[in-house]
């Protein structure tokens, strides 16, 4: 209940009074009030634009915004390439390599190492969702696929932080833009002390990744909006080219445009379609709903990971090597713990 200096429900106050209260929070000298305003604003905006109308009908907000709404569950989907594990009891595993995270880093490492004959275990804190689960809904999509339901932010809530929180991580929810590392960036990294980035070996690594993800420029129909941008760029003399994407069979039709909530036709070549599928086929154990809590250290060497299922069951993985690939947010947090 908001009181605004007098005993009254916030919702019972006149519109102008409510506006003044919220704006006072927005511009408050107290960082806690500003953060509270940003959190409230984001929550209200999310539910206002994402929830359907009464009795699951079409939301009038969608009509006003000319938004077609969620796609609904797909009728035909490819068969699953990964069948992950979930444990309902205390468990201890032994393997050669334990990988924390299943996105672009962890998924790729799992595929390569398992194909080389190593016994690999992958720990993913999020759940497993496949093509049949991707209905295009913002509400369910954020809740299932994003860290903290898409509501994560900096301490003052001024900057939102979007990160994948499902099997496949960010590769499930990204928009498939697949640029190779530019030469000038590679040179900058090499000058910072890592000369490997300008080596032929790194170039071959880029080639291998692009080949496995089937990166191409054939699925790039330009929309009317982008055509305007393209004409402006060409008028300025800027370089314009088709965007490389890691998709196969993306028709860019009416069912497309929901990339951020998973690809219902299986066109996006996420790690669940590629490297994790390779790892699974090679015998890797892939655990979902299993959050790594800390790395087990003996002397100065990592020899395993302590994790917990969503139900609270401990999962101990003992390994010869540990790879932390939990993303830019969670990897530092795990190292800190």
The length of the chain is 337
Is 172 or 225 the better-scoring residue by pLDDT? 172
pLDDT value at residue 72: 81
> Domains in the chain and their CATH numbers?
10-65 (no CATH), 91-178+243-336 (3.50.50.60), 180-212 (no CATH)
DSSP 204-237: HHHHHHHHHTT-BSSS-PPPHHHHHHHHHHHHTT
Which residue, among 98, 95, 101, has the nearest Cα to 332 in the 3D structure?
101
Question: 247 forms bridges with which residues in the sheet?
Answer: 268
**pLDDT tens per residue across span 154-202:** 888 788 899 999 999 999 999 999 999 999 999 999 999 999 999 999 9
Q: Average per-residue pLDDT in the chain?
A: 92
Q: What is the CA radius of gyration of the chain?
A: 23
Question: How many CA within 13 A on the CB side of residue 164?
Answer: 31
Q: What is the percent of the chain with per-residue pLDDT over 70, rounded to a whole number? A: 97
CB-facing half-sphere around the CA of 257: CA atoms within 13 A: 11
User: What was the pLDDT predicted at 309?
Assistant: 96
| Out of 21-25, 177-181, 284-288, least confident range | 21-25
Backbone torsions φ then ψ of 62, nearest 5 degrees = -60, -40
Mean pLDDT, residues 11-36 taken together:
90
User: Hey, how many other C-beta atoms are within 10 angstroms of the C-beta on 98?
Assistant: 30
- Comparing C-alpha atoms, which of 149, 209, 205 is closest to residue 173? 149
| pLDDT, tens digit (0-9, with 9 covering 90-100), for 56-90 | 888 999 999 888 888 887 777 767 788 899 898 99
- The CA-to-CA distance between both ends of the chain, in Å, stands at 37
Q: What local confidence, expressed as pLDDT, does residue 1 receive? A: 46
pLDDT interval class at 5 (50, 70, 90): low
Asked if pLDDT for residue 92 goes beyond 90, the answer is yes
Backbone angles phi, psi at 92, to 5 degrees: -125, 130
Comparing C-alpha atoms, which of 245, 194, 191, 237 is closest to residue 221?
245
């Amino acid at each position: 209940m908001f009181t605004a200096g007098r005993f009254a429900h916030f919702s019972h106050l006149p519109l102008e009074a409510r506006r003044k209260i919220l704006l006072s929070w927005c511009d408050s000298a107290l960082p806690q009030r500003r953060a509270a305003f940003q959190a409230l604003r984001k929550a209200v905006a999310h539910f206002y634009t994402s929830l359907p109308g009464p009795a699951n009908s079409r939301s009038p907000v969608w009509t006003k915004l000319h938004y077609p709404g969620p796609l609904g569950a797909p009728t035909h989907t490819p068969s699953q390439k990964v069948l992950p594990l979930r444990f309902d009891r205390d468990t201890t595993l032994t393997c050669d390599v334990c990988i924390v995270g299943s996105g672009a880093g962890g998924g790729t490492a799992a595929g390569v190492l398992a194909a080389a004959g190593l016994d690999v275990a992958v720990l993913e804190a999020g759940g497993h969702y496949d093509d049949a689960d991707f209905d295009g809904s913002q509400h369910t999509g954020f809740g299932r696929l994003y860290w903290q339901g898409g509501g994560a932010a900096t301490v003052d809530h001024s900057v939102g932080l979007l990160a994948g929180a499902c099997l496949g991580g960010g590769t499930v929810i990204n928009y498939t833009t697949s640029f190779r590392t530019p030469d000038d960036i590679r040179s900058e990294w090499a000058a910072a002390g890592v000369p490997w980035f300008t080596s032929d070996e790194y170039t071959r690594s880029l080639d291998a990744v692009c080949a496995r993800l089937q990166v191409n420029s054939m699925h790039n129909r330009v929309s009317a909006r982008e055509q305007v941008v393209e004409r402006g760029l060409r008028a300025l003399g800027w370089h314009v080219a088709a965007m490389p994407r890691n998709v196969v069979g993306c028709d860019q039709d009416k069912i497309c445009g929901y990339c951020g909530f998973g690809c219902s036709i299986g066109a996006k070549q996420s790690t669940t379609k590629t490297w994790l599928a390779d790892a699974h086929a090679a015998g890797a154990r892939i655990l979902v709903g299993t959050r790594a809590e800390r790395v087990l250290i003996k002397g100065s060497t990592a020899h395993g990971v302590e994790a917990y299922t969503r139900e609270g069951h401990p999962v101990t993985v003992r390994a010869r090597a540990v790879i932390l690939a939990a993303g830019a947010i969670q990897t530092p947090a795990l190292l800190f713990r």
